[in-house]
């Protein structure tokens, strides 16, 4: 806006100066009476006005940004439903899973395991709420005070001070309430459970899978790679043939959004590790020229070699922080 104002002032001053010249005024009088020049001027003004109107009425569409929290809430809801399908608990019909807080859903296995550890002959717990507060009802106990105290103490020890844990009793219904009061988890922390699930399913090292995601996209769902690739592992946009690794590959990889790349990436990593060395398999995930290095030719590139070494270094970091294969 300032740019337009400055140049408008400059042209106005220049026009006022030139109009003081008789020769300029005579040229201007001739131009005004020339029909062709009038038509050119009118057409030029009409074109400029049309461009301005079109720009104002059709503003440039902004790129849509992925709702990261919504992705993890949906994953959390599915994780809760899996526990229900396994018979470890029941989800009450009134329980709304639409905004399942990941910091609470991720620790539900710990809650259920601790409940079974403390209570002899436990009844099946019932999930009645999971949003910013998690509530699990334990029904059928006339006396629960001593068990409740031991349960809250052990859970507090396991989960730490970032969780506020209480038990409310009403006759034979006892409600375990857990609220997360710590700093919201970042995407790296939220990614841990999907990575563990995908790694366990495909028998790969979760620390390696986590490190690959970090160095490809830095956990950015909206990451854009070369050749129109996108996503956590830059696998979206590739053709199915690009993802073959020494054998048949059944996945459709042209439209991989959200967390789906974690699971497809784990599958591809597992297959590549069967036919390639560990370093060679890692090199094929390099986002700039991924999948073009099925052999050791990548070692000729200092950039890719350094990238592979960084991935391997962070594998140890993630292992030391708890991302280890389940035995």
Whether residue 130 contacts residue 100, with contact meaning beta carbons closer than 8 Å, is answered with yes
pTM of the shown model: 0.75
Domain 68-180 -> CATH class: alpha beta
Tokens 């001739």 locate to: 30
Long-range contacts formed by 77-82: CB under 8 A, 24+ apart: 77/105, 79/105, 79/106, 79/108, 79/193, 80/105, 80/108, 80/127, 80/130
State residue 76's pLDDT score.
96
State residue 24's pLDDT score.
59
3-state DSSP call for residue 295? coil
CA 24, chain centre distance (Å): 65
Helix orientation angle between 192-202 and 68-85, rounded to the nearest 10 degrees: 50
H helical segments located in the chain: 2-18, 22-33, 35-57, 68-85, 102-105, 108-118, 145-159, 187-190, 192-202, 206-217, 260-275, 278-283, 302-320
Cβ neighbourhood burial of 49 (10 Å; 0-12, 13-18, 19+): exposed
CA distance 241 to 251: 10
CA distance 304 to 287: 10
Whether residue 124 contacts residue 99, with contact meaning beta carbons closer than 8 Å, is answered with no
Helix orientation angle between 108-118 and 68-85, rounded to the nearest 10 degrees: 30
State residue 248's pLDDT score.
40
Neighbouring C-beta atoms of residue 136, cutoff 10 Å: 23
Report the sign of the C-alpha dihedral through residues 105, 107, 109, 111, in that order: negative
pLDDT in tens, the chain (327 residues): 565 666 567 656 666 665 667 765 666 666 666 666 666 666 666 676 676 666 666 655 555 788 999 999 999 999 999 999 999 999 999 999 999 999 999 999 999 999 999 998 899 999 999 999 999 999 988 888 888 999 999 999 999 999 999 999 998 999 999 999 999 999 999 999 999 999 999 999 999 999 999 999 999 999 988 777 889 998 876 554 454 443 344 444 445 778 999 999 999 999 999 998 899 999 989 887 655 555 567 788 888 899 999 999 999 999 998 887 765
Q: Where are the domains of the chain?
A: 12-57, 68-180, 187-320
């Amino acid at each position: 806006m300032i740019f337009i104002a400055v140049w408008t002032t400059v042209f106005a001053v220049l026009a006022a100066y030139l109009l003081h010249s008789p020769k300029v005024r005579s040229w201007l009088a001739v131009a005004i009476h020339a029909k062709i020049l009038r038509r050119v001027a009118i057409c030029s003004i009409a074109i400029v006005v049309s461009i301005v109107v079109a720009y104002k009425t059709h503003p440039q569409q902004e790129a849509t940004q992925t709702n990261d929290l919504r992705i993890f809430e949906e994953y959390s809801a599915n994780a809760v439903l899996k526990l229900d399908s396994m018979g470890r608990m029941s989800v009450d019909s009134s329980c709304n899973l639409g905004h399942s807080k990941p910091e609470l859903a991720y620790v539900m296995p710990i809650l259920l395991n601790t409940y079974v550890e403390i209570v002899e002959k436990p009844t099946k717990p019932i999930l009645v709420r999971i949003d910013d507060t998690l509530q699990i009802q334990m029904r059928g106990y006339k006396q629960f005070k001593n068990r409740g105290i031991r349960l809250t103490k052990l859970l507090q020890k396991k989960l730490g001070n970032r969780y506020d844990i209480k038990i409310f009793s009403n006759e034979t219904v006892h409600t375990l309430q857990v609220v997360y009061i710590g700093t919201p988890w970042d995407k790296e922390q939220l990614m841990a459970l999907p990575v563990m699930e995908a790694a366990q399913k495909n028998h790969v090292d979760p620390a390696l899978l986590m490190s690959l995601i970090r160095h490809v996209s830095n956990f950015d769902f909206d990451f854009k790679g070369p050749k129109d690739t996108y996503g956590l592992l830059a696998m979206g946009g590739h053709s199915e043939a690009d993802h073959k690794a020494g054998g048949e590959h059944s996945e459709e990889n042209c439209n991989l959004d959200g967390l789906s790349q974690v699971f497809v990436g784990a599958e591809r990593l597992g297959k590549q590790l069967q036919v390639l060395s560990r370093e060679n398999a890692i090199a094929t995930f390099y986002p700039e020229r991924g999948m073009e290095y099925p052999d050791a030719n990548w070692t000729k590139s200092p950039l890719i070699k350094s990238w592979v070494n960084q991935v391997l270094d962070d594998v140890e970091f993630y292992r030391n922080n708890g991302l280890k294969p389940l035995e």
